[in-house]
Structure 1
Amino acid sequence: MSSNYILGNRVDSLTLAAAVARVASFIADGSPHHIVTMNAEIAYLAYKDPGLQAVINRAHMVTADGSGVVWAARKLGTPLPERVTGIDLVQALAAEGARRGWRFYLYGAAPGVAAAAAAKLQEEHPGLVIAGTTHGYLGPDAMPALLAEIKRARPHILLVGLGAPKQEYWIATHLEELQVPVAMGVGGSFDVLAGVVRRAPAWVQRLNLEWLYRVVKEPKRVKRALALPKFMLAVLHEARCRR
C-alpha cells in the first residue's frame, strides 16, 4: 500500500475494494488499528493543527474521503485511484462483515440515530452482527462506562461518529485500551444511514459537488465549507513549491 502526502497529511493510495481487504487483514491480525477517512476539511484542519496531523499520520490507514483530496493528490503529481468515502466504506464493510461474522459497534450522533443506523445496516445486510450502539452526547463522567461496555461487546469494527477532529482524537486516546481490531471515524455517516440526512443524488456525486449539495441542504455548514477554498489555495501553493 503506497502513501501520498497532502499538506503534510498522509493519504493511502487505495480503491474501495483494497480498503476492505486491508480492513480484513487488520481484523485477522487482531491488534488495534485506527482508520481515518480524510476529506479536504479535515486535511486543512490538520495542516493548521500539528497534533491532529500527528494523529492522522500515525493511523494505520487513511482514505481519501472526498473529491477535494483526490483533486489535491492529482495537482501534487501523486494521483489516487479513487475516493473512498467513509459512508461507502461502512457499507462495503457491512456487506463483507455480514458474510464473515464481524461484530460492529456504533458510537456517536444524536440519541437514537446510531441505533437507527444499525437497524438500517442490518436490514440491508442480513446476518450483520451489531454488538451495540451508543449515542455521542455523553459527558466525561459516562466515558468509563462506555469504554467498559465496548470492551464487553468485543466488536471487530468500532465506528465512531463524533465529527472531526473530535472522533480522531477520541480514537487515538482510547484505541490501546479498547483493543478493538478496527476503529474508524465516520463523521456524519450515521445520520445518512438512519435517514436523518439525505445523501446527494448519484449524479451530484459524479460531478464532485456533494459538498455543495450538503451546504444547500444544511446552510449551517457554510462556515465549514469555507475551509475548502483555503485548502485549495494551500494545495496550489504546495504544488508550486514542489516544482
Structure 2
Amino acid sequence: MLERRANPVGRAATARVPRISLGGLRLAVLDIEQTANFMIEMVFPKRRVNRPLYLTSANGEVLARCSTEPMTGLLFRAADLINADGQPLVTVSRLKSSTPLPERVATTDLFHVVARKAADAGLTFYMFGADEAENAAAVANVRKMYPNLRIVGRSHGYLRGRALRDKVEEINALAPDYLWVALGVPYEQAFVEEFTPDLSNVGVIKTAGGLFNFLSGSRTRAPRWMQNVGLEWVWRIWLEPRRLFWRYLTTNPRALYLLFNKSRSSGTDRTPRG
C-alpha cells in the first residue's frame, strides 16, 4: 500500500480534512463529531471512492513505535486518515500549533457516535477481531444498545491462512459500509495493507485496537478525570501491570521526545468539516 502522499485516491478523498504534523505523523484536526460525519459522508448516500477508505488512530505508543519500527511507520503513513487517540497529543498540539487538535478522538467513543448515525442512515457494520468470546459479547451488547443498527456479520480475529482468506471473501461479499478491525497494533494495520485489494465492496475500514474488550464489558475505561488529563495509561497499567508496565516505561519517554521535537509549529489553513 502506498503512503497517503503518493496515493491519489486517498489524497482526493481526504483533501478537505485539515492536518498537523505531530510526533512524526500527520494527524487529522477533527473532533469526534466531525470524524463521525466524515465517515458517514464517505458512504452515504453513495460511496465516494472505489476502494475502502482506511482510517486508523495514533497515541504516544504508536508515535514511539513508528519511530523505531520502520514497517509500523509505513503502515500508519499509508492510512487515509489518522486520528489522535491520546490526550497528551492534544495537549502538546496546543503548545506547538496555531491550529491544535480540538479533542482526543478515542475509538471507544467514536464507535458509538458512528453507530448512532449509521443506524439512522441504514448503514451496515462488520465487526472483526478479538477472540470468539469477546467478539460475540461485544456484538451482542452493541445490538442491545443500537437495535436499529445493521450488523451484517462478525468474526474473531484468530484466523490464519486459508481460513483467513475465506473470511475476507465472506466480508467482501457482505459488502459492509464499515469494517471494524480489532487486532492490535500493528497487526490490524498489516491486515488492512494485505487485504484492501480483496475488500473492494467495503466502504470504510477503521482499525479499533482494544475496542471490542470495552464493548464486551471485560475492560472498563479510566475515570473521566484521568482521561482528561492524559493519565488513562496509568489506569491501564493498574489493570494489566505485567503486560503494560514495560511497554509504557519504554514508549512514553520516547513519545514525549517526539511530540516536542518532531512536531511542526506552523498550523494548517484548512477549515475542519462540520
Normalising by structure 1, we get a TM-score of 0.93
**Using a 3 Å threshold, how does the CA distance of structure 1 residues 132 and 4 change in structure 2: closer, same or farther?**
same
- Structure 1 residue 2: Cα displacement: 0.8
The yes-or-no answer on 1:54 pairing with 2:70 is no
Q: 1:165 maps to what in 2?
A: 186
The yes-or-no answer on 1:181 pairing with 2:203 is yes
Which residue of 217, 220, 226 maps to 1:195?
217
Q: 1:94 maps to what in 2?
A: 115
The yes-or-no answer on 1:141 pairing with 2:165 is no
- Structure 1 residue 153: Cα displacement: 1.6
Is 2:89–2:259's contact at 8 Å kept on the other side of the alignment? no
The yes-or-no answer on 1:237 pairing with 2:261 is yes
Q: Distance in 2 between the 1:111 and 1:46 partners?
A: 30
Which residue of 43, 60, 67 maps to 1:40?
60
Identity among equivalent pairs (%): 30
- Which consecutive unaligned segments of at least 5 residues does structure 1 have? none
Q: 2:14 maps to what in 1?
A: none
Is 2:28–2:82's contact at 8 Å kept on the other side of the alignment? yes
Is 1:164–1:187's contact at 8 Å kept on the other side of the alignment? yes
Pick which of 207-216 and 48-57 moved more.
Answer: 48-57
**Using a 3 Å threshold, how does the CA distance of structure 1 residues 109 and 97 change in structure 2: closer, same or farther?**
same
- Structure 1 residue 119: Cα displacement: 1.5
Q: 2:13 maps to what in 1?
A: none
Q: 1:204 maps to what in 2?
A: 226
SS at match of 1:112: helix
- Structure 1 residue 210: Cα displacement: 1.1
Query: How many residues are matched?
Result: 242
- Structure 1 residue 242: Cα displacement: 6.5
Q: 1:104 maps to what in 2?
A: 125
- Which consecutive unaligned segments of at least 5 residues does structure 2 have? 1-16, 267-274
SS at match of 2:55: strand
Select the structure that is richer in helix.
1
Q: What amino acid does structure 2 have at the position aligned with 1:232?
A: L
Q: Which has the higher contact order (CA 8 A, sep 6+)?
A: 2
SS at match of 1:155: coil
Normalising by structure 2, we get a TM-score of 0.83
Q: Distance in 2 between the 1:242 and 1:37 partners?
A: 21
The yes-or-no answer on 1:83 pairing with 2:104 is yes
**Using a 3 Å threshold, how does the CA distance of structure 1 residues 169 and 72 change in structure 2: closer, same or farther?**
farther
Is 1:72–1:232's contact at 8 Å kept on the other side of the alignment? no
The yes-or-no answer on 1:68 pairing with 2:88 is yes
**Using a 3 Å threshold, how does the CA distance of structure 1 residues 242 and 63 change in structure 2: closer, same or farther?**
closer
**Using a 3 Å threshold, how does the CA distance of structure 1 residues 52 and 75 change in structure 2: closer, same or farther?**
farther
Q: 2:271 maps to what in 1?
A: none
- Structure 1 residue 43: Cα displacement: 1.7
CA shift digits 1:123-142 (9 cap, x unpaired)? 11120111111111112231
SS at match of 1:81: coil
CA shift digits 1:5-51 (9 cap, x unpaired)? 12321111001111011101221315310001111111211122333
CA shift digits 1:145-200 (9 cap, x unpaired)? 11111012211000000001110111122112102110011100100110111111
Is 1:9–1:47's contact at 8 Å kept on the other side of the alignment? no
Query: What RMSD in Å do the two structures reach over aligned CA positions?
Result: 1.8
